[in-house]
Chains A and B, each alone.
Chain A
């Protein structure tokens, strides 16, 4: 392969553990193939670090196909790097010029504490999901797939909300570290479908409460989340979440102490 090769200077955030102060350390990535992904470039840097007996740079990754939501850090202030609609594992080195200096930082948010280097703890998202990101389903035989009719427009909209992979780039990009885009995508995708109606109100109330309890900020509609989202989740979702939450709060029925009649 006679592909082009480039040299880069990386200023990488190194932090030994959650309690360590951390700071930037400079590395040189030499002879990087333009066909390599950003993570493959880091793999090569880590190989060199390991061969010298140094600690490799820790970063999250899993599928490396842009569909799992495991990877993600910030390159020059941009979550997942400079390319829109892309996870950092799908960001290739052909998007960089020879001699560039790049600053690599972990996602910054109080609700996402740093575990090590570029790795952050995103279990706050799991807790938001467990607060209401599910539907009730009967056991027994599966219902025929076409038994429940769904308008095409609703199905499409629900699908585009459901493409959220929960990577946390929205929180990372937001100056308020707001989880509104993530939470609203999850609330939306189930509120739009008939299967999500049973817990619809309860879900909106509980997921917003969980989001606030985790210490995420509020949405000021800067649109930074939408711009950073590798799956192009739209701000529309946040507007829908707010309405869902308002309607649910205003119309929620009190729970009967002894259960309903019948």
Chain B
């Protein structure tokens, strides 16, 4: 199998699988966080339940490993791909043979999403620790921190921009992963494509709604 992972096709399998692990994570992350619309207590209880067991360490280990694989493979493929082209056309394609911006700028989107992920973890996971008591249980009041952070228009703006970018990255990435894994064949090809776009839109909009809600309605 060493020949497999050394090939461009094998590396695309790594990109696809590690990307899909994160795609699954962001969907769950977005859906769980929607509890902020229910109440701060519900949101905090959910967070507490997630972080109480040992399963969180397994999940974090898988995500970190997948992210590192995704980044390493992306960098190595991008270097290889630039080396294979070297000279761009003097006149870029404008007509029928032009391709989507989202598909052409995956590397740049990925780099910005990575910066966002790091800052996001610093802001929340390693942010100010408030405490609250829900039904007699003492737990972290992450909802309070979230409400505080999203008082700032600059923060809200930065999040909205990054999440739109994440949406584009997912819209191309998820469909492209199925393609790389060899599943984009036959009757369901168009369906997979549409599902990828719908999925990306749901994740991006679901996330974006949260800082916007806290900024406009939760003062």
Binding site for B on A (CB under 8 A): 11, 24, 74, 76-79, 82-84, 103, 105, 108-111, 173-178, 180, 205, 208-209, 211-212, 215-224, 227-228, 235-236, 238-246, 249-250
Contact = CB atoms under 8 A, between A and B. Distances in A.
A75 B179 CA distance: 29
A218 B12 contact: yes
Contact of B185 (A74, A175, A177, A236): A236
Among B88, B89, B100, chain A packs the most CB atoms within 10 A around the CB of B89
A108 B88 contact: yes
B55 interface: no
A221 B175 contact: yes
Most buried by A among B8, B10, B95, B104: B8
A224 B97 contact: yes
Contact of A246 (B13, B81, B91, B184): B13
A77 B92 contact: yes
19 contacts: A77-B93, A78-B93, A79-B97, A82-B97, A108-B89, A109-B85, A110-B86, A175-B85, A208-B7, A218-B77, A221-B179, A222-B99, A223-B99, A238-B179, A239-B183, A240-B185, A246-B182, A249-B1, A249-B10
A82 B186 CA distance: 29
Nearest to B182: A243
B11 interface: yes
Given A221-B172, A243-B185, A178 B81 contact: yes
B84 A178 contact: yes
Given A175-B81, A221-B175, A242 B181 contact: yes
A246 B89 contact: no
Nearest to A211: B8
A177 B93 contact: no
A222 B104 CA distance: 6
A175 B182 contact: no
Contact of A241 (B9, B89, B103): B9
Interface residues of B, number: 47
A240 B176 CA distance: 13
Contacts of B96: 78, 82-84, 227
B179 A217 contact: no
Given A77-B94, A222-B103, A240-B185, A217 B9 contact: no
Contact of B83 (A11, A110, A212, A241): A110
Interface of B: 1, 3-4, 7-13, 77, 80-81, 83-100, 103-104, 106, 172, 175-176, 178-186, 189
Given A83-B96, A221-B172, A245-B10, 13 more contacts: A24-B90, A78-B95, A110-B86, A218-B12, A218-B77, A222-B103, A228-B97, A236-B184, A242-B182, A243-B182, A244-B182, A246-B182, A249-B1
Contact of A217 (B3, B8, B175): B8
A217 B85 contact: yes
A78 B94 CA distance: 8
A240 to B, nearest CB: 5
A221 B185 contact: no
Contact of A220 (B93, B94, B98, B103): B103
Q: Sorted from nearest, which 8 A-B pairs have the closest CB atoms?
A: A243-B182, A217-B84, A176-B81, A218-B8, A77-B93, A217-B81, A239-B184, A249-B4
B95 A82 contact: yes
Given A109-B85, A175-B104, A249-B1, A242 B9 contact: yes
B81 A224 contact: no
B96 to A, nearest CB: 5
Given A77-B94, A78-B93, A222-B99, A208 B81 contact: no
A218 B80 CA distance: 8
Nearest to B87: A108
A215 to B, nearest CB: 6
Contacts of B12: 218-219, 242
A215 B83 contact: yes
A218 B88 CA distance: 16
Given A208-B7, A243-B185, A220 B90 contact: no
